[in-house]
Amino acid sequence: MGKGTKITKGNVHAAIKDDKAHIDYLKRDVLDDQKYGGKHKDINQTADEKHISKLAGDIKHDHTFISKHMHYKK
């Protein structure tokens, strides 16, 4: 499994937005699998759910990056 995009101060907010959009798409895909499933319904649904968990972990990591590396002047 390859690494994703390196998170920097310049792209962290875009990465979070992209991951949230991807999660939204995967959640709709899970619902479609439940409705129209077919032969591999459970396999596809489980794969989507694992991917959602990974993306949620990425978002958590990105928020940690922000708190550690982004310093705002008041």
In a domain, 33, yes or no: yes
Total-model pTM: 0.80
Q: Give which of 63, 64, 68, 69 is closest to 20, Cα–Cα.
A: 63
In a domain, 7, yes or no: no
Domain boundaries, position 27: 12-68
pLDDT for 3-30, tens place per residue?
Answer: 677 889 899 999 999 999 999 999 999 9
3's enclosing H/E stretch is: none
Residue 1: predicted pLDDT? 43
Residue 59: is its pLDDT beyond 60?
yes
CB atoms near residue 33 (< 10 Å): 20
pLDDT for 61-70, tens place per residue?
Answer: 999 998 888 7
Q: What CA dihedral angle connects 18, 20, 25 and 31, to 10 degrees?
A: 170
Q: Tell me whether residue 48 is exposed, middle or buried, using C-beta atoms within 10 angstroms of its C-beta: 0 to 12, 13 to 18, 19 or more.
A: buried
In a domain, 73, yes or no: no
Mean pLDDT of 48-52: 96
What SS3 state is found at 71?
coil
Residue 42: is its pLDDT beyond 50?
yes
